[in-house]
Amino acid sequence: MISGVFTSTSSSHILSTVRIYFKDEPALHAYLCRREDSLQMIALATKGRLINVRHISKSTEVIQDISIGEDSAHRKGIFVDMRCPAGQSIVRQVTGMFNESFTWLLWTDSPVAALRILQDSRVSVDSRLAIARAKGRSAELMDVYRLHVKGSFIVTDVTVSGDDDSNFWNSRRRNNFNGYKFKAATVVTEFQFRGREDEEKFMDPNYLQYVAGFRRYGYAMLYILSMYYNFDFEMKVHNKWHTIYPNGTATGMLRDLISGEKDFGMAPSKFIGERLKLVSFLAGLGSVKFFLVFRQPVALGSVNALIAPMSFSAWMSLFGACAVCGLTLWVLLMRDSSVTEPYKWNESVLITLTSIAQQSTEFTGRNLASRLALLTLLILTFIANLMYNTSVLNGLLIKAPDAIQNPLQLLASDLKISCNNVGYLRDQMATNDSLTISFREKLLKSDEMYVNIQKGIKLVKSGKYAFYVLDDDFYRGSSTMLSVEEICSTSNLQKERSFPAGVYGVQSSPYREHFRLGVTYFREIGILPYLSKAFRASKPECSWSLEAEPFGLKPLSLAYFVFLTGLLASLLMLSVECAARILTRTKTKTQNPQQERKDSPTA
């Protein structure tokens, strides 16, 4: 209760009380039962204050009058004289307007009767409401609020000694919720979570650290907030994300908030303007980013390293030029008189290949035309090899740009797509924008469509998949499954922009200011950064440097394949030649005796 002593007449002490109570309010609506009180109230109008004074002799409709400018940055002051039925009728009209947008002062002869009228109103912890009554030649004021709209009124007496008190509202007295038990909800889809029973392990950063990091971050924030404001909560756990239907109904956690069954939801959700028509956004906890993470295709250390330095057109033109030179060389060698035995076409091909490989070759021709053709071929292959080797060397010394830099390049690449098996990402992949449709078509062709975090990280490590996942979950999981070098070798692309996420409460929640101030305070003193470090993760700082790394057998697989194929073909041809030679000898031996019998005189 606020007790102020004023030595004034019955009419003037209302004016004095209003002057102190609404000292800092730039706008004031006053509804008085007596005409003389209304006339004196006009004296409060000053250059910097707007005042609307009305004499109420009968029931008056005031909701539209008061609600004008409700969303203004400036709070309105409302004075209602409840000593007459018309004033009581006004209070019954505005039961839903006792929020942070207004400062209320109700003048009455019976505070108990006034509280009875306010029983079904929105009066809560954020309401700036006082009830005043005349007490002899003085005025008695009572600060009134509730911890919950369904709770009991808390009436507090505070003494004010006049105009020297510049801060009538001491918000700290409303920071102690006295152990009140709220109802909350969250969403956990990855494993079984029984609410407060599993709270200890749910807030343990080392327990399934790659799962639900952002939601556990929000839960831990609520837990610390409950200790700061001294309240308790019971938790309902949903195993599916909510869905909002066009008619305004919803499922899951959001349905609990819309219906008023729960006071706030502790699974951080996307900030959507349309959603604010149904629920209140209490506090932002950070931004959320879903991305496609993958390892860039690397040519060095793979078979592609033999092809990538030159484009397809360059390879085709080189092969065409070599074919022309080889054909020309074959024609010239066929007519070279210095060659004792005419060259066959396969020998010409062999000379061409040795020239390309910059290897020595035996050449016995003395014809100038043949030598010019061979010299031309050698110069061509020398320049081509020089440019080829230079390109390979540049690739070693200079970091090459990423081959995949946008979603379209990812779609056109050989990488397959996999998606983390959580409801939100499944819903994202089911949308029908053109980019998502293209990704969905590529996803349907993959062997691994929807997988858990561990499997997805392994797919990324293989270099054959792009994994659609929440950045927090990927980097927390990869910290134990991948080396720093492997993490730094990953790239990511966003299919949709990052978005803010935070805590939602019931529509017109009275706890918005408490949540926002609490989150801001926790951020300033380092609690939120600590929780973020414990439950969230980001890509480590990486610096590219040239390091000589030995390569294994895989890059040489093509060379060994050609070698073994040629060796087997050579042995096969040797076997065929040996078999043919044996058959020839056998046939010759059988034919010779027959011929001898034919040639003998006795025959």
Residue 543 lies in a domain: no
pLDDT mean over 83-105? 88
| Dihedral angle sign, alpha carbons of residues 590, 591, 597, 603 | positive
For 239-256, b/e burial (b = at least 16 CB within 10 A) is eebbebeeeeebebbbbb
pLDDT of 498 strictly over 70:
yes
CA 48 to chain CA centroid, nearest Å: 47
SS3 321: helix
Q: How far is 426 from 422, CA to CA, in rounded Å?
A: 6
Contacts (Cβ under 8 Å, ≥6 apart) of 523: 529
**pLDDT at position 384:** 73
Strand order in the sheet with 450-451: 450-451, 416-420, 465-470, 290-295, 490-493
Residue 285 near residue 218 (C-beta atoms within 8 A): yes
**pLDDT at position 594:** 60
> Which CATH number covers residue 54?
3.40.50.2300
Residue 16 lies in a domain: yes
Q: Which residues pair with 420 in a beta bridge?
A: 451
Q: Residue 48 carries which DSSP code?
A: T
Out of 142, 174, 206, a domain closes at: 174
324 burial class (0-12, 13-18, 19+ CB within 10 angstroms)? middle
pLDDT of 592 strictly over 70:
no
Residue 303 near residue 560 (C-beta atoms within 8 A): no
pLDDT mean over 475-502? 83
pLDDT mean over 462-475? 87
Residue 15 lies in a domain: yes
Query: Residue 9: pLDDT band by 50, 70, 90 thresholds?
Result: very low
Residues 169 and 30 in one domain: yes
With a pLDDT cut of 90, the percent of the chain lying above it is 8
Residue 162 lies in a domain: yes
Out of 174, 200, 229, a domain closes at: 174
384-403 residue pLDDT tens: 777 777 776 666 555 556 67
159-210 residue pLDDT tens: 555 544 444 555 456 888 989 999 998 888 777 788 788 888 888 888 877 7
What is the identity of the amino acid at 384?
A
Residue 219 lies in a domain: no
Residue 221 lies in a domain: no
pLDDT of 3 strictly over 50:
no
390-442 residue pLDDT tens: 776 666 555 556 678 888 888 888 889 999 888 778 888 888 888 888 888 88
Residues 18 and 161 in one domain: yes
Q: Which residues pair with 470 in a beta bridge?
A: 290
CA 303 to chain CA centroid, nearest Å: 35
How many of the other CB atoms lie within 10 Å of CB of 388? Answer: 16
Average pLDDT, the chain: 77
501-560 residue pLDDT tens: 888 888 888 988 888 888 889 989 998 888 888 888 788 777 655 454 555 556 556 555
Number of domains the chain is built from: 2
Cα separations (Å) of 585 from 574, 589, 592?
16, 6, 11
pTM given for the model: 0.66
Out of 174, 206, 226, a domain closes at: 174
Instruction: Pick the more confident residue, 318 or 3.
Output: 318
Domain that holds residue 371: 303-397
pLDDT of 603 strictly over 60:
no
**pLDDT at position 273:** 74
Instruction: Pick the more confident residue, 85 or 350.
Output: 85
At which residue do the structure tokens 């604010």 appear? 276
**pLDDT at position 67:** 57
Residue 375 lies in a domain: yes
Residue 518 lies in a domain: no
Instruction: Pick the more confident residue, 67 or 121.
Output: 121
214 burial class (0-12, 13-18, 19+ CB within 10 angstroms)? buried
